[in-house]
Amino acid sequence: MKRNREYIVLRNSILIGWLLTIAVIGLSIYFSSIAYLLIGCFVLSLKYGLMGTVKNVEKRLPTWANFGVIEKPVNRRVTRPFPFRG
């Protein structure tokens, strides 16, 4: 039950974020103003920044929606075929 609720909240937040982005880009084209485009960039950065801080949400996000995936360290033990001696 908890997992479904988290999924619904995540889906709604992504949907609202994309709708805001499309609306702001539409306003910037209509009014041909750079200010609306800057506001849209701010909304996008805020959306991705907030999503990246939540660890439970980060695991369920697709790769296109999360820029933190690139910087995430690999949690595997490094196995070397030749052990370092010296």
Rounded to two decimals, the pTM is 0.36
Closest CA relative to residue 42, chosen from 25, 58, 56: 25
**In the prediction, which pLDDT does 86 show?**
53
User: pLDDT tens, 26-66?
Assistant: 877 777 777 777 777 777 777 666 655 555 555 555 555 54
**In the prediction, which pLDDT does 69 show?**
45
Dmax (CA) of the chain: 68
DSSP state, residue 74:
P
Contact 31, 39 (CB under 8 A): no
Query: Where exactly are the structural domains of the chain?
Result: 2-60
